Amino acid sequence: MKINSEDPRLTAYALGELDQNEVEEFEQLLANNSEIKSEIDSIKSAIDSLKQEFDNLPKEELSDEQKQSLLSRKNIISTRPSTFSKISQWTGISAAAACFIGMGIIGYDSIKKETDQESMNLTTVGQSLEKDSQYQSLKDEYQLDMEKTVEPLLAKKEAKESIKADKEDKERSFTKKLAKNKKVPSPNAASQIADNSIEDDGLRLGLSARSRSINQSIESGDVFLKPLSAAKSLNKIEATKNYEKQKTLEENALDKRPISEIQELSKEEEEASTNNEQYGAYYDSPFVSPLKAPLSTFAIDVDTASYSNVRRYLGRRNQLPPEDAVRVEELINYFDYDYPFTGDKHPFSVHLETASSPWKPGNRIVRIGLKAKEIKTNKRPPSNLIFLIDCSGSMRNNDKLPLLKQSCISLVENLTEDDRIGIVTYAGGAGVELDPIHGDQKEKIIKVINNLRSGGSTNGEGGIRIAYDLAKKNFIQDGTNRIIIATDGDFNVGISDRSQLIKLVKDRADKDNIYLTALGFGEGNIKDHNLEQIANNGNGEYYYIDSFKEGKRVLVDKMSSTLVTVAKDVKIQVDFNPRKVGSYRLIGYANRRMKAEDFRNDKKDAGEIGAGHTITAIYEITPPGSDDQNEVKSKYKKTDNNKAENKYSDLIDSEELLTVFLRYKNPQDKIKDNANEFVVPLTDSGKGWEKSSLDFRFASAVAGFGMLLRNSNYAGEVNFDLIIELASEGIGKDKNGLRKEFVELVKKAKTIKSKSN
């Protein structure tokens, strides 16, 4: 038989589509036919480029709504009670859950204990400490004394919320929901309590602050308590409630409404599902009277991930971000502020400014600005960097691995021979891709980076340990020693238990002085909360890289601040003078608040500050004598106690508005070492915001924007137009154009919002 180039077997052969007999026959035929052989080679190369080009196509994905609808379908089928025995099983689950919820009503303390025990079992000591301190600080701030008289009201408030939540179509984060669910009373109790309605506004406000704080105290435990059976059955209860809804959905296969409740049910199995960006729940601080809690304490935060993530939502996806994706302090700290570094004794200096609130007449805004000492890129100490790169299949999109490579290469171009860099991959890769070599061997490094491929089987074993071991082996004394983990959210780095992972990261930071920075990439899978937490515990920062520009900003422009830590465990405590301050509220830093007494507990971890970093915190304060929204009165307290002279009787005379205390450790200090402390007082000049600095106005605008995006209860009269005005005035020199971009972003948000209304 003769063959020519028209024979389809040529292609079939190249594709391996011929069976064994055909192959043998075919190979005999072409044994001496070099023409056909070369034809086959051309076919093979065409096939290869076709495959590759198809592979390189941007990955198409279903929209979030479509996925939600799919997920809801999954629940219909997986939880559908198709037989009688299943129904009775359901009743059992509901009953069990109701019992558990019942405990929720009995007392907040018992729940607290409950979560404590669970968290002791399931989370690291560090975690439960963090939770404890969050809880404690909230308790301090609000003076949460859960007297028996308050409890029924509290339950009532929550009963109302739970009923409302049923109807709510608003997207809420899983954790927030879970925290809420935990406290949802059983339907009977709920309606019973709801019957005695309360309408007192003041009370309700106070209560909402309470229920929130309780939720929060539970929240940090819950995030890690996925397998918790109680939580599961609670979800199931929610499922019963939604059952009717689901049924309707099922009948209408094309119905693509986002049913957030249903989606949340399935997040329990998020390990395996596909579109699951995950955000922790954050609660805004309320206004607090300094008479009750004069000290406000928090750890600094230099992360900026939240801003680039918000930018992605608004810019690329044309949607408002989920509320809990917005961490206001990260929005504010994304921008550079022109604070000079004046200190010589301390590695950073502090700048305070106060002016009237642009959005609430009578209120004042206080800005605390920190500026760390600059280290020129060419003077930075040598770096020992280990990249730990996620090469799982999901990293293949252009906005993930390719962007990561591009960003890494731009970093490598700035390394010197004193630096060392190594690359370890996890999921899909084979571990050590590049044994640490000196930074001047750029060609070799770039070649390794370019050869990174996503996909393949998961082979995460030990990835993170290998990375730390390499970093330790190549440790540079007085240098920067850092793991840089880059991922779209998967954490199968060899330790599946997240609390253990966090413990490891924390241990290595504390004992070996190897820090960790997290880079988040891509859409659809980002585990925002986890990344933030792991970076936080690793004494590092969390950045979300949404573009090459951002990658360059973080890894090249901000190289010194990203890589070189000048102070660690930086804590801020603000002491407010009750004579001058009616109440105060810290904007943002929701998950950075600390107990007042932990300020001088030098074993307590806090935030790190990199060279040249600026950090800004903003307080809003109400004038003295203004109504205290959280006012609670005990019947044993004299009524005239509120009179000014009594109220202030035990206060010293001072014209100061507040005093800022700062505490930090040097980067090389150990846990047991004592921290340094310094103090900066502030007296209010009484200036209006029209006279405030450009930076002040811009930072206030960003804070206001954050509050709006979070739908904060405290947003007051903030609106998009005001923010655009403030930000435009505050643009200043704007060397990198980021502030202009911000103004555009606000405009975009305004358009999206007005369309959705």
Closer Cβ to another protein, 18 or 146, answer by number: 18
Closest by Cα among 504, 479, 480, 478 to 491: 504
Q: Assess 8 for contact with another protein (CB under 8 A).
A: yes
Exactly one of 4, 5, 646, 736 binds another protein (CB under 8 A); that residue is 5
Cβ-contact 28, 3 below 8 angstroms: no
Distance CA 719, CA 597 (A): 37
Q: What is residue 684's DSSP assignment?
A: -
Q: Interface with another protein includes 393 (CB under 8 A)? A: yes
Residue 53 CB, shortest distance to another protein, in Å, is 4
In order, the DSSP letters of 302-341 are: ---HHHHHHHIIIIIS-SPPPGGG--HHHHHHTS------
CB 393 within 8 A of CB 358: no
Considering only residues 267-326, where is the footprint of another protein by CB under 8 A?
Answer: 269, 272-274, 316
Q: What distance in Å separates the CA atoms of residue 523 and residue 114, rounded to the nearest whole number? A: 36
User: Would you give the DSSP letter of residue 291?
Assistant: T
Is the CB of residue 227 less than 8 Å from the CB of residue 192? no
The only residue of 1, 2, 21, 60 in contact with another protein, by rule CB under 8 A: 60
CB nearer to another protein: give 376 or 755: 755
- Given a contact cutoff of 8 angstroms between Cβ atoms, the answer to whether 565 and 509 are in contact is no
Binding piece for another protein, criterion CB under 8 A, among 9-17, 122-130, 416-424, 477-485: 9-17
> And the tokens for 558?
């901000």
Q: Are the beta carbons of 360 and 716 closer than 8 angstroms?
A: yes
Q: In a 10 Å sphere around its CB, with 0-12 CB exposed, 13-18 middle and 19+ buried, how is residue 163 labelled?
A: middle
How far apart CA 183 and CA 190 sit, in angstroms, is 11
Task: Copy the structure tokens of residue 40.
Answer: 């086959």
87 contacts another protein (rule: CB under 8 A): no
454 binding another protein? (CB under 8 A): no
DSSP string, 640-673: GGGSHHHHTTT------SEEEEEEEE-TT--TTS
Stretch that binds another protein, among 71-79, 359-367, 408-416, 442-450 (CB under 8 A): 71-79
CB under 8 A: which stretch of 43-51, 338-346, 538-546, 550-558 binds another protein? 43-51
Instruction: Tell the smallest beta-carbon distance from residue 66 to another protein (Å).
Output: 4
**Contact between 1 and another protein (CB under 8 A)?**
no
Q: Kindly state the smallest distance separating residue 253's Cβ from another protein, in Å.
A: 6
Candidate ranges 79-87, 134-142, 204-212, 409-417; the one touching another protein (CB under 8 A): 79-87
Interface mask (CB under 8 A) for another protein, residues 226-255, using x and -? ---------------------------xx-
Is residue 74 a contact point for another protein (CB under 8 A)? yes
Is 12 a binder of another protein (CB under 8 A)?
A: yes
Binding window for another protein (CB under 8 A); candidates: 74-82, 334-342, 358-366, 646-654? 74-82
Q: Which of 398, 642, 711, 751 is the binder for another protein (CB under 8 A)?
A: 398
Q: Are 415 and 439 a contacting pair, CB within 8 Å?
A: yes
Within residues 607-636, the interface with another protein by CB under 8 A covers none
Edge-to-edge order in the sheet of strand 383-390: 432-438, 420-426, 383-390, 480-487, 515-521, 542-545
Question: How far apart are alpha carbons 535 and 509 in whole angstroms?
Answer: 10
Cα separation, 500 vs 127, whole angstroms = 10
Among 59, 472, 748, 753, binds another protein (CB under 8 A): 59
Q: How far is the CB of 77 from another protein (least distance, A)?
A: 5
For tokens 């340094």, the residue is 676
Q: How many residues bind another protein (CB under 8 A)?
A: 47
Q: In what order do the strands lie in the sheet with 614-622?
A: 348-356, 364-372, 614-622, 583-587
Q: Which residue, 398 or 713, is less far from another protein as judged by CB?
A: 398
Is there a contact between 312 and 674 (Cβ–Cβ < 8 Å)? no
Measured from the CB atom, the residue of 77 and 99 that comes closer to another protein is 77
User: Among 43, 189, 446, 680, which residue sits at the site for another protein (rule: CB under 8 A)?
Assistant: 43
Bridge partners for 421 per DSSP = 385, 437
The contact mask relative to another protein for 185-204 (x = CB under 8 A, - = no) is: --------------------
Q: Does 56 bind another protein (CB under 8 A)?
A: yes
The answer to the question of residue 752 lying near another protein (CB under 8 A) is: no
C-beta closer to another protein: residue 191 or 398:
398
Listed in sequence order, the residues at least 6 apart from 32 whose beta carbon sits closer than 8 Å to its beta carbon are none
Nearest-angstrom CA–CA distance, 408 and 421:
11
Q: Compare residues 70 and 731 and give the one whose CB is closer to another protein.
A: 70
The one segment of 50-58, 192-200, 458-466, 649-657 that binds another protein by CB under 8 A: 50-58
* Residue 28 in the binding site for another protein (CB under 8 A): no
Instruction: CB nearer to another protein: give 79 or 213.
Output: 79
Measured from the CB atom, is 270 or 598 closer to another protein?
270
Cβ atoms 610, 563 nearer than 8 A: yes
- Of 58-66, 132-140, 233-241, 337-345, the segment contacting another protein by CB under 8 A is 58-66
Q: Does 70 bind another protein (CB under 8 A)?
A: yes
CA distance 493 to 516: 14
Residues forming contacts to another protein in the complex (CB under 8 A) are 5-12, 15, 17, 42-43, 46-47, 49-51, 53-54, 56-63, 66, 69-70, 73-74, 77-80, 82, 253-254, 256, 269, 272-274, 316, 393, 398
